[in-house]
Amino acid sequence: MKAKDVREMSKAELQDKLSDLKAELFNLRFQLAVNQLDNPMRIKAVKKDIARIMTVLNELD
């Protein structure tokens, strides 16, 4: 997800995407704990996406 794409989303869309990403991060961490995670770099990508969305949400307020 690019920053440009995030900035084009509405506040409601951003909040929905943020909750989805947080749930995905939880699931990835759970998979990591039980050694079923295929791509550990996905955790890093999801964290960065969460940070991008939170930054844009803070700019909107």
Residue type, 50: I
Task: Say whether pLDDT at 26 is over 90.
Answer: yes
Cα-based distances in Å from 3 to 18, 33, 34, 41: 14, 30, 32, 19
Say whether pLDDT at 24 is over 90: yes
What are the residue boundaries of the structural domains of the chain, listed by start?
A: 3-60
Read off the pLDDT band of 45 (50, 70, 90).
very high
Q: What is the pLDDT of residue 15?
A: 97
Q: How confident is the model at residue 61 (pLDDT cuts 50, 70, 90)?
A: confident
pLDDT of 38: 92
CATH of domain 3-60: 1.10.287.310
Residues, the chain, total? Answer: 61
- pLDDT exceeds 90 at position 32: yes
